[in-house]
Amino acid sequence: MTRVLIVGAGHAGGRVAQHLVEGGFAGEIVLVGEEVHIPYERPALSKEFLLGKQDVAEFSLPVCEASEACRFERRVGRVTSVDPVERTVSTADGETIEWDRLVIATGADARRPPIPGNDLSHVHVLRTIDDALRLKSAITAAKNLVIIGAGVIGLEVASSARGHGVAICVIEPAERVMARILSPSASHWLAEQHRAAGTDLRLGRGVSEIHGDAVILDDGSVIAADTVLLATGAAPATAAFASVVAAGADGVPTDAHCRVEGHEHIYAVGDVALSSSPIYGRALRQETWRNAENQAQAVAQILLGGEEPYSELPWMWTDQLGHNIQVVGFCAGDREVVRGDPATGKACLFQLDGDRLVGAVLLGEGKQRKHVERLILDRVPVTDAQLGDPVQALKALA
Amino acid sequence: MSVPWLDLGNLDDLMDGGECRGVVVDGHKLGIFVVDEEVFVIDDLCSHGNALLSDGDLDGYEIECPLHAGAFDVRSGKALCKPLTRDVRKYETRVEGGALLVRFERT
């Protein structure tokens, strides 16, 4: 009986198991993860769940059940190493688990920058349900919340914490917010929204020390803080895979079929996977909901004998201060063309490289996502005038 | 007693040349969708997030939510893809003398 061992029981790992069972996989599936919760999707943790508007059941995956052809087992545990020759993994409990096919789905862990005081009890990170529960209860009682990092998680938490009677300060070493994802003008627009909502946003500032009741910035200023969130990004969880991944790699490198380079029976999926992209001709590590969802399906299909490579245009959304912001592709390109007026909360910020669209930031314009994706993927030649004119339907251009 | 027909008004006036329109009846949001001159009414509030489907993109019988890209079939209210896990309600419709009637119980 073939055994697929999935290490990591988050959104991606859970979906691989589910798709294998639904796809009629004949064999045994073992899903090992560190969390006691059944696999779940993470977007709500910084938003609806933190606000108490959704409970765990609403974003948990359906419970995976064995079928006649397929045995399924979920274990709670931490895998510490892999032996790719003997085809086993070892766990922190001293257990050895054998496998025929290994799927690495360990996701990413919150980064904890080496700031003195980063281990104090009022310092939080946010990756898991348990993190979110702790943070929620801290925010409820907090007077001064300091968020270190103005990325997606930091700004979503700043948005969610509003209305709880807490003063919010966001500190970001970069000169603009969500700099990894947004174009400069979109960053500027979003920063204005947060400032208008009352957030004390400090850009271009680092934190030199965290104390029990305050955070000390690199310019010496002291900011009162009874609750601190480290929202400084996530690092791929590769510690257990030193035997198959070169040191220093940003994730687990795979080919376009999600196979780990040099190991034809080992796959990687989700946030941890650094997968060769047929669209871009280079490796991408996508920390998005859609990547977890769709790459898991792709890997399950490949394990079931499918031949299709995995190909996904980057797409993410964030909901902040009543605005829905979506980013398709990359804010690379040589210029930006704006359709609509960001001041109204509805606009498309197109990123062009020559006469091709390479990305877009959609402010309250999610309905355009499909058309934007078509324009990018089909490499449709476009002009600034066409994109900038709201009368020209994108649907017609695509 | 069967659910009565509620008159939402003249269909052409409601749609004004568009294919999606949201209306509010007693605080309940209804989405009206026209595909090839056929009219469908489903709940306008997406079952996943706090978004109006009538603000979304209609492609054939598929309406895509503008927030998180979940899609529903306007003929049945059925959720067609992730991240949706729940369908939305579908309402019976008919057009009489240009007026759009929907089987909807007022509260």
**Sequential pLDDT tens for chain A (398 residues):** 899 999 999 999 999 999 999 999 999 999 999 999 999 999 999 999 999 989 999 899 988 888 888 999 999 999 999 999 999 999 999 999 999 999 999 999 999 999 999 999 999 999 999 999 999 999 999 999 999 999 999 999 999 999 888 999 999 999 999 999 999 999 999 999 999 999 999 999 999 999 999 999 999 999 999 999 999 999 999 999 999 999 889 999 999 999 999 999 999 999 999 999 999 999 999 999 999 999 999 999 999 999 999 999 999 999 999 999 999 999 999 999 999 999 999 999 999 999 999 999 999 999 999 999 999 999 999 999 999 999 999 989 98
Establish if B22 touches chain A: CB-CB under 8 angstroms: no
CA distance A333 to A321: 28
pLDDT reported for residue A65? 87
Q: Please give the class, per CATH, of domain A322-397.
A: alpha beta
Q: For residues A389 and A378, is the Cβ–Cβ distance under 8 A?
A: no
Using the Cβ of B80 and the Cβ atoms of chain A, whether some distance falls under 8 Å is answered with no
Contact flag B83-A319 (C-beta cutoff 8 Å): no
- Number of domains observed in the structure of chain B: 1
Determine, for residues B49 and A319 on separate chains, whether the beta-carbon distance falls below 8 Å.
Answer: yes
SS3 A346: strand
Helices A11-22 and A289-303 cross at an angle (nearest 10°) of 40
Q: Give the gap in angstroms from C-alpha A74 to the nearest C-alpha of chain B.
A: 23
pLDDT of residue B32: 98
The domain spanning residue B13 has which CATH number? 2.102.10.10
Two tokens, residue B91:
């309402």
Cα distance between residue A349 and residue A44, in whole Å? 26
- Calculate ∠ Cα A274-A279-A282, nearest 5°: 40
Q: Is B66 within 8 Å of chain A by CB?
A: yes
A22 touches chain B (CB under 8 A): no
Q: Is A251 left (phi over 0), alpha (psi -120 to 50) or beta?
A: left
pLDDT band at B1 (very low <50, low <70, confident <90, very high): low
Cβ separation B64–A395 shorter than 8 A? no
Of A317, A364, A395, Cβ closest to residue B68: A317
Which residue do the tokens 């220093």 mark? A248
Is A156 near chain B, with CB under 8 Å? Answer: no
In 3D space, the residue among A128, A105, A130, A79 whose CA is nearest the CA of residue A14 turns out to be: A105
Structure tokens at A391: 């009368």
| Rounded Cα gap, residues A179 and A175, in angstroms | 8
| DSSP structural state of residue A60 | B
* Cross-chain Cβ contact B64/A370 below 8 Å: yes
Q: Does A317 touch chain B (CB under 8 A)?
A: yes
Beta-sheet pairing, B38-43 with B57-59: unpaired
Q: Quick one: pLDDT at residue A319? A: 94
**Which domain does B23 fall in, by range?**
5-103
Instruction: Please tell me the class of the A3-109+234-303 domain.
Output: alpha beta
What pLDDT is stored for residue A64 in this prediction? 87
Contacts for A199 with CB less than 8 Å, ≥ 6 apart: A158, A168, A169, A170
Beta pairing partners, A145: A168, A227
pLDDT in tens, B46-73: 887 778 999 999 999 999 999 888 999 9
Shortest alpha-carbon distance between residue A327 and chain B (Å): 12
CB B67 to CB A366 under 8 A?
yes
Nearest CB to A369; choose among B69, B82, B83: B69
A94 to chain B, closest Cα gap in Å: 37
The minimum CA-CA distance between B67 and chain A, rounded to whole Å, is 6
Measured between beta carbons, the chain A residues lying within 8 angstroms of B66 are 324, 364-367
CB-based contact, B64 to chain A, within 8 Å: yes
Q: In chain A, where does the domain assigned CATH 3.50.50.60 lie?
A: 3-109+234-303, 112-230
Range(s) within chain A of domains with CATH label 3.30.390.30: 322-397
Q: Does A195 touch chain B (CB under 8 A)?
A: no
ipTM attached to this prediction: 0.72
When scoring A40, A42, A365, A370 by the number of chain B Cβ atoms within 10 A, the one with the most, hence best to mutate, is A370
Architecture per CATH, A112-230:
3-Layer(bba) Sandwich (3.50)
Length of chain A, in residues: 398
Q: Which pLDDT does position B106 carry in this prediction?
A: 77
In whole angstroms, give the CA distance from residue A175 to residue A222: 20
